[in-house]
Amino acid sequence: MVVDAASVLDVAWLPFMTSILAPQLLRRGVEIFAAISVVVFAGLLLYGNNLQQFASAMLNLRWHWVLIGVAVASLDWFGGGLRLYLLAKHVYPKTQLKGAILSAGLNAWATLITPSQAGGGPLGIYTLRRYGTPIPEGMVSTFMSFVATILFFSVAGPLAVFLGAGQSLKEHGILGVATLNDLFRLSLGGFITVGAVLLFLMIFPGVARRLARGIVAWLERRGSEKLARRVSGLNDGIDRAHHAMVAFFKGRGWFALAGSVLLTAPTLANKLLAGYIVLQALDIHAPFVDVLLLQTLIIFLLYFAPTPGGSGLAEVLSAAVMSIYVPRELTPSYVLLWRLFVGYLTLGVGSYVFWRWLKLWEEQLATEEANGPDDQANGGSVAPPSKGD
């Protein structure tokens, strides 16, 4: 019998991809996200101290802007999917566009319900695998999507500052210590630092491979016998991931990388434009570029927030940063709409897709048990890859 090497590697890597994707953990993440959001929004209603104004604002929205916000929110899926498809197609030509779109959307969904966005990458990689892309290639494609985001901000941010964007933000301070413009520059510096580290690892991919192999060797020596058996098959996957990474620095790989950086603009359009769209929906006028920079600042500050999806922190931070344009009595309306576009819509669609998969998997298990399967399910984790939906 001929055994597909990719399948062997996936068997070795899959436990690591699914270890944090147990449905119980994801369900708990949704519950925590919702609970924190409700509590914080109730606090914002008290802060606004004008329920009548809140109701009036929600009833008198400029609804064409709301529809624009809903359309832009879908770019979490379609913009991110096109970027991921471009990258994954380069290292694995059989990558499916549908799988890439679902991977990007579910990646965004999982970042909302896991601390520090930890679940986004694994679920995105799992989704690619579900549609046929091997895990090592899926890991590299997902990583390069992150690299494209870092490169985009590392180039666009300094360019915007050089061209004089955000000068009016110097007039607005925060906590009496620094201006919003200072805070934007500081957070941008953090992103550029991360970008420099990633650039080093990309230029010298052998260093990253040696680090990964060193971690695997340490786990084999220090871990349990069961863990040692699991990690023993990872080295081949590391080599495949290394070769996939190197492929981006040869010939057409440069075009794929450059294209992914350009596609980062529509990929992040939802988070970058949501603030301005909400202001327009509430008939509040503000400079487009300044609002864009403030939304970028919020993205930077929330990137590693410890709560699921930055819940609680996102609402408070957005209210504080945008208070220079949003009147106190309209703050609850602004935050509710902003959260709808950057989070709630993706949360709803992603939850439907994931638990639909889970239900189909449970039905598949029931059928296998009725037919006397040879092996058991994967310990409560997400279903193993399947072509059928």
Overall pTM > 0.85: no
Quick one: average pLDDT of 219-231?
Answer: 57
Residue pair 53/329 in contact by the 8 Å Cβ criterion: yes
Give the model's pLDDT for residue 122.
Answer: 87
Residue-level pLDDT at 320: 85
Dihedral sign (CA 224, 5, 377, 212): positive
How is residue 177 annotated by DSSP? T
* pLDDT at 345 exceeding the cut of 70: yes
Cβ atoms of 187 and 181 within 8 Å: the answer is: no
Cβ 15 vs Cβ 231: under 8 Å = no
Residue whose structure tokens are 């062997």 = 8
Give pLDDT tens digits for 94-123. Answer: 999 999 999 999 999 998 888 777 788 888
Q: Are 124 and 141 in contact (CB under 8 A)?
A: no
Of 358, 352, 339, 299, residue with least CA distance to 33: 339
Out of 132-141, 204-213, 286-295, least confident range:
204-213
Return the amino acid letter for 50.
Answer: N
pLDDT at 239: 59
DSSP 8-state symbol, 383: P
Q: pLDDT-derived band of residue 384, with 50, 70 and 90 as boundaries?
A: very low
Residue given tokens 């008290």 in the structure block: 46
- The pLDDT of residue 208 is 63
Q: Percent of the chain, pLDDT > 90?
A: 28
Q: For the chain, give the mean pLDDT.
A: 78
The pairing of beta strand 178-179 with beta strand 173-174: antiparallel
One-letter amino acid at 269 equals A
